[in-house]
A and B are shown apart, each in its own frame.
Chain A
Amino acid sequence: MNSKKVMIVYRKELMEVLRDKRTLFTTLLLPVILYPLLIVGFNAIMARQTGVLEKKSASVAVQDSVMNPVSMAIIEKLAEVENYTILPAAGNAQSLYENKDIQAIVSISDSLTASGLTTYQVYIQYDTANEQSMTVYSRLKDKLAESKNDLLHEQLELRGVHTDVMEILDVRPIDTASSQRKMGMILGMFLPYIMIIMLLTGASVVAADLVAGEKERKTLETLMVSGVGRLEIVIGKYLTIITLAMLNLVVNLFSISFSMRYMLSQAGMDMSGASLPLKSIFILLAAMLPLATLFSAILLSLSTFSRNMKEARTYEQPLMMVSMIMAMISFLPAIEMSNLMALIPVINIALLFKAVMIEEYQISHLLITIGSTLILDVFAIWATIKLFKTESILFRSDDDSGGVKAIKKNKASFFSPYNGIVYFSIALLLLYYLGSYWQTQDLWQGLLKTQIIIIALPVLLIIRMLKLKSRDVLRLKAPKLLPAALIPFIAIPGAILVAILAQIINAIYPFPEQYLENLTRLFNMDIPIWESFLIVAVAPGVCEELLFRGLFPRFFEKFGVKFSIIITALLFAAFHLDPFRFVPVFLLGLLLGYLTLRSGSIYLSMFSHALNNGLALFFTAFATQPWIKVLISDSDNLHYWVALPAAIVFGIAMYIFHKTTGEKPCVE
């Protein structure tokens, strides 16, 4: 790589981007104007609203069942409140209150203590769900406190006690939160969300322009025949997007910071000594940099994949939606930063942000966040470079949008990545709403219904509707004897290896108790073992394989066999709606995808899947048997040494499998 040429590309792109009025507006101008307007405006409306409530007239009904000078004095005191009308409570007071014609009902009664003192009880009936009623209550309470003071004074004087006895215990709260932390609390709630969205918005405008825009304007070819290599072009463009994203971020951070400061000082909070939380801002920028690079890489690869800017903006939408939802985690008060959370992109930044703002972050979380984001980042930029070197993607011209018309014309065009994702999303929604509903009704029946109706049936229907041969499309072909015989030696040690990996993950990042309970419930037998074997092992083996190893790989075949295995494995893992098992299920998906696509027979992965699930059932069923203690330790975990023989058997079986199957069957 020629870094000088990278810089030439970078400088030119930056100059060009900064001359684009649209980019300038979204990255620089919008944040500068938006936050002061938003915060100051919001502040003004709030202040006005509270002011209006304070001054708003209210009617209070008073029921005085004492009717002596003391109670009269109390009522007189209440009447001092500006704009408040005090009415004697009539019989219809309750219905007036319900109609909101009066905002509170005060009733005064008295009683006699053992020492002969008359005491007064004042009941205030008000509505905590009504802002005006709340205001009325607090104003009445203040007045009643004054009355109480007056009464006490009177009594003390009467008994010849000096009134300073009233100050005998003076409670004075001291707020230890610095102005910085107060500001941090407020900022930490919504800042991460806004920042992550801003980062994406700022980067996406530029990213779409840089590659898809060049394709659209027909300048990309000119650039590629000039004296610069593809790697230099990609890196130069990549740096441009990161720069703009970070620039956008800095402008946003400072704009928000200044506006908030203004708001706090307006609200009368003590701002003396509270400087801008500069240190926090720098830590946040350091943490945001990897996220900026990750977003930039993803956006750049989307832009490279797209034929024009419009398409690029469409592909950016899902990324935007997912990031928005993940960033919203900062609004949830109960969720705090942990080592596990620090591994999940976007969420880690949102939580770290929150922690930094109240100055309670841990350096380890910061490091895990940066590290895990950087690892993803390397993958994303690698994929972008790879895409940029793929001719068929860089010069994509044929229409493969997969619309209804195109499908009618050519049935195979149904199998586009776009349709694959749509299909997956619909299935996921059905699983989430319908499947979990069925399962709460009756766990076993629900599981079976989910497998058959949501997962398997649509696959067969689609094949029928398209009038395709299910035998060919779904690879329903009899396997050869040797590979089939090898499956137990692949599936069982494979499952053991994955289980041990899950144990290691569990040891580092413990699963929540509740989660483990739910999982055991799945394997707890209150039905005959052959029935649970059918539901937990056979049904998923057949149904899930039809979808994930039969239909789905067809959608992604154009990316090549390797990619389609990886993508379907990712979807397979996501489909289990279980973040704790994502990695193990993903690995299982990779294995199953390989078995089918390599051998050309889906029966092998069905068999393997059933064995894998059956093994878990087997261990649970015989957990109490003494002989199984050889394999399983007391805490229901496999002994770590089991991994060694499992790895050896797995390795040998996979080697023979690979040697005896060809790559041919996956391309038909």
Chain B
Amino acid sequence: MIKVQNLVKEFPKKDGSKFYAVNDASFIANDGEIVCLLGVNGAGKTTTMRVLSTVFQPSAGTAEIQGWDIRTHPDKVRENLGFLSGDTGLYNRLRVHEFIRYFGRLYSIGDAEINRRMDEMAELLDMKDFMDKKIEFLSTGMKQKVSIVRSIIHDPPVMIFDEPTSGLDILTARNIVSFIRSCKERGKCVLFSTHIMREAERLADRVVLIHKGKILAEGTLEALREATSQTDLDDIFIHYVNRSNLETEVQAHEF
């Protein structure tokens, strides 16, 4: 389970002022649920996910992964978290099994257990032919499979996918989508981000709309449709963005 509470992430700008990449964001993702963080490029999706995966420190507020606070227990957070993004790089000079074993060992999993899981995943994802190959000789699709295995080698209860299909061809993207579904079936808590409405519509149980670092709306698609009396997710999104822009203008007038 992911619990985000009043999360703020600011970056210093050159002129000395602050840029709020994430501004007072709060939302929840439950076990066995797929939650989509939806927003345009630069909305703060990646920053949010980097904070959740302990790459960045939050400026204010906090979040919990499986009950572990990201501020106080980053080690525990990482142990309970699988992270995958669309443009993940791999160590080209390693062989596939070496690569997966490396990450398994970093999670302090025993070699026997790593081998067992690796065999299981290789069977499942049809990777047996290239487990001994060097990664530099793999195709994009093969590499993506290696990344998938890497992200779940420690069988984490929470999965975070940062724009998992960006830059992938249709077939590879489809593998990822079915992988995300299978995570849900196994009762994992899944948070994924995208700027593609269709992907969100197809996969998500709930949607969190993020724009300029702020959470505009959160809920099941039905709830959002009812609230905005729009049927299409595109229109729902635009509805909220317009409203938020309006609010900013009104605020500006008040001052």
Contacts and interface: CB of A to CB of B under 8 A. Distances in A.
Interface stretch (A189-197, A223-231, A499-507): A223-231
Contacts of A283: none
A184 to B, nearest CB: 41
B14 A222 contact: no
A656 interface: no
Contacts of B83: 222, 225
Given A8-B102, A222-B150, A226-B106, A413 B14 contact: yes
Contacts of B91: 12, 16, 219
A253 to B, nearest CB: 28
Given A227-B79, A668-B16, A391 B108 contact: no
A526 interface: no
Contacts of A392: 11-12
B94 interface: yes
B55 A218 contact: no
B14 A227 contact: no
A391 B94 contact: no
Contact of A225 (B15, B54, B92): B54
A8 B105 contact: yes
B128 interface: no
Interface string B105-139: 11110000000000000000000000000000000
Interface size, B (range): 35 or more
Candidate in B15, B89, B93, B154 with the most chain A CB atoms within 10 angstroms: B89
Contact of B85 (A217, A221, A395, A412): A221
Given A16-B94, A225-B53, A226-B78, A218 B88 contact: yes
Interface in B15-37: 15-16
Nearest to A8: B105
A8 B55 contact: no
A667 interface: yes
Contact of A217 (B12, B75, B89, B94): B89
B240 interface: no
A552 to B, nearest CB: 18
A222 B84 CA distance: 8
Given A16-B93, A20-B93, A413-B14, A391 B150 contact: no
Contact of A229 (B75, B105, B150): B75
Contacts of B98: 12, 15
A413 B13 CA distance: 12
A5 interface: yes
Contacts of B94: 12, 15-16
A219 B90 contact: yes
Interface string A369-387: 0000000000000000000
Interface in A14-38: 15-16, 19-20
Contacts of B102: 8, 12
A459 to B, nearest CB: 22
Contacts of B55: 221, 224-225, 391, 395
Contact of A222 (B50, B74, B88, B108): B88
Contacts of A8: 102, 105-106
B57 interface: yes
A218 B167 CA distance: 14
Interface string B141-163: 00000010010001000000000
A227 B85 CA distance: 17
A475 B11 CA distance: 26
Nearest to B109: A227
Given A391-B57, A413-B14, A227 B87 contact: no
A218 B11 contact: no
Given A217-B89, A391-B57, A225 B14 contact: no
A218 B86 CA distance: 11
Nearest to A16: B93
A20 B91 CA distance: 12
B92 A217 contact: yes
A529 B91 CA distance: 70
B81 interface: yes
B68 interface: no
B56 interface: yes
Contacts of A558: 14
Interface string B39-56: 000000000001001111
Contacts of A5: 106, 108
B106 A219 contact: no
Interface string B181-215: 00000000000000000000000000000000000
A249 B94 CA distance: 26
B107 A226 contact: yes
A225 B12 contact: no
Contacts of B105: 8
Contacts of A391: 55-57
Given A5-B106, A413-B14, A225 B89 contact: no
Interface in A606-652: none
Nearest to B50: A221
B56 A228 contact: no
A496 B81 CA distance: 59
Contact of A218 (B78, B87, B93): B87
Given A221-B55, A225-B54, A227-B79, A667 B90 contact: no
Interface string A1-13: 0001100110010
Nearest to A214: B89
Given A16-B93, A20-B93, A392-B11, A227 B106 contact: yes
B75 to A, nearest CB: 7
Interface string A225-245: 111110000000000000000
A221 B83 CA distance: 10
A19 B14 contact: no
A224 B12 CA distance: 22
Contacts of A19: 93
Nearest to A667: B16
A217 B102 CA distance: 17
Contacts of A228: 106
A227 B54 contact: no
A16 B74 CA distance: 27
A4 B110 CA distance: 13
A260 B58 CA distance: 60
Given A8-B105, A222-B88, A227 B78 contact: yes
Contacts of A15: 94, 98
A412 B14 contact: yes
Nearest to A413: B14
Nearest to B99: A12
A226 B103 contact: yes
B105 to A, nearest CB: 5
Contacts of B89: 214, 217-219, 222
A19 B92 CA distance: 10
A558 B14 CA distance: 8
Interface string A645-667: 00000000000000000000001
A20 B94 CA distance: 11
Contacts of B107: 226-227
A5 B93 CA distance: 20
A395 B46 CA distance: 12
Nearest to B78: A227
21 contacts: A8-B105, A8-B106, A12-B91, A15-B94, A16-B94, A217-B89, A217-B90, A218-B89, A222-B90, A224-B55, A225-B55, A226-B103, A226-B106, A226-B107, A227-B75, A227-B79, A229-B74, A229-B75, A391-B57, A392-B12, A400-B14
Interface of B: 11-12, 14-16, 50, 53-57, 74-75, 78-79, 81, 83, 85, 87-94, 98, 102-103, 105-108, 147, 150, 154
Interface of A: 4-5, 8-9, 12, 15-16, 19-20, 214, 217-219, 221-222, 224-229, 391-392, 395, 400, 410, 412-413, 558, 667-668
In the A-B complex, the 4 residue pairs with the smallest Cβ-Cβ separation, listed nearest first, are A218-B89, A227-B107, A219-B89, A225-B83
Given A218-B88, A219-B88, A219-B91, 7 more contacts: A9-B106, A218-B87, A221-B50, A221-B85, A222-B150, A227-B106, A392-B11
